[in-house]
């Protein structure tokens, strides 16, 4: 099942790249494996997947321990400061930095563990009350402040677009966050590059790619629906 799903996702990514005049190599597919058993991750690994996304620290750590070491683990979920220490040297990228206090803790722990941690700033581009993330103005201020911290590197922005029936409804949000990343890039802030735009999930990754996503986070489309009741 995973093999078939991956083929379908891959074909759609390629088609979206083509429509947008982009090279396939510009887009990284992250397989979001949260709630899924290790066997399913191993299957995806066997087909060549090396980028996995998890939203809970403990679950990521458990999977990290048993899975091969050439995997890049992406922390995509809301992160509590007291759990940051567990991710040091293990998370390839933390997508969900939404406050200066969290950035400060990632910086402090990175110094302590003698690593540099790549982070993205999470932007709640549609201003949904139920979602974490900064608004546009906060994002700029946060990038400017976090850029001064040691041992972290700001690589771009991440957003979770609203859950919609029609993915076209999210196009404007993807355009807005892309514009925000261009605006930040033009400020030429030291220690900040805006090469990553993490946006697009199962329901809307094709539109996200058309609008400039460099990372798409696909869970259901690869592993099937999640069951939170087990």
Site residues (CB under 6 A) for ligand PLP? 32, 34, 55, 76-77, 160, 201-203, 217-221
Q: How far is the CB of 34 from ligand PLP (least distance, A)?
A: 6
Q: How far is the CB of 190 from ligand PLP (least distance, A)?
A: 28
Give the number of other CB atoms < 10 A from CB of residue 112. Answer: 11
For the CA atoms of 87, 157, 219, 212, the dihedral, rounded to the nearest 10 degrees, stands at: -150
Q: How far is the CB of 217 from ligand PLP (least distance, A)?
A: 4
**Complex with ligand PLP: residue 49 or 149, whichever CB lies closer:** 49
Q: Is the dihedral of CA 122, 41, 209, 182 positive or negative?
A: positive
Q: How far is the CB of 135 from ligand PLP (least distance, A)?
A: 18
**Complex with ligand PLP: residue 71 or 158, whichever CB lies closer:** 158
**Complex with ligand PLP: residue 79 or 149, whichever CB lies closer:** 79
**Complex with ligand PLP: residue 32 or 180, whichever CB lies closer:** 32
Please name which of 187, 129, 119, 208 lies closest in space to residue 157, comparing C-alpha atoms: 119
**Complex with ligand PLP: residue 77 or 212, whichever CB lies closer:** 77
Q: How far is the CB of 158 from ligand PLP (least distance, A)?
A: 8
d(CA 141, CA 189): 11
* Sequence-distant (≥ 6) Cβ neighbours of residue 145 within 8 angstroms: 100, 103
Please name which of 179, 171, 176 lies closest in space to residue 208, comparing C-alpha atoms: 171
CB-nearest residue to ligand PLP: 219
* Sequence-distant (≥ 6) Cβ neighbours of residue 114 within 8 angstroms: none
């Amino acid at each position: 099942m995973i093999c078939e799903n991956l083929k379908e996702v891959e074909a759609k990514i390629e088609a979206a790249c083509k429509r947008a005049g982009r090279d396939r190599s510009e887009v990284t597919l992250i397989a979001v494996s949260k709630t899924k058993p290790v066997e399913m991750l191993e299957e995806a690994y066997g087909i060549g997947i090396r980028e996995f996304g998890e939203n809970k620290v403990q679950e990521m750590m458990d999977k990290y321990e048993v899975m091969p070491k050439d995997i890049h683990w992406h922390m995509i979920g809301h992160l509590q400061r007291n759990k940051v220490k567990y991710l040091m040297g293990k998370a390839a990228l933390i997508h969900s930095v939404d406050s200066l206090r969290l950035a400060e803790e990632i910086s402090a722990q990175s110094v302590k563990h003698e690593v540099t941690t790549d982070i993205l700033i999470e932007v709640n581009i549609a201003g949904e009350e139920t979602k974490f993330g900064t608004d546009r103005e906060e994002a700029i201020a946060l990038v400017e402040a976090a850029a001064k911290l040691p041992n972290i590197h700001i690589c771009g922005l991440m957003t979770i677009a609203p859950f919609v029936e029609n993915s076209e409804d999210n196009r404007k949000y993807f355009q807005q966050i892309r514009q925000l990343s261009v605006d930040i890039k033009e400020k030429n802030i030291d220690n900040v590059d805006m090469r990553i735009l993490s946006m697009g999930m199962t329901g809307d990754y094709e539109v996200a790619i058309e609008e400039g996503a460099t990372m798409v986070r696909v869970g259901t489309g690869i592993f099937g629906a999640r069951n939170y009741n087990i």
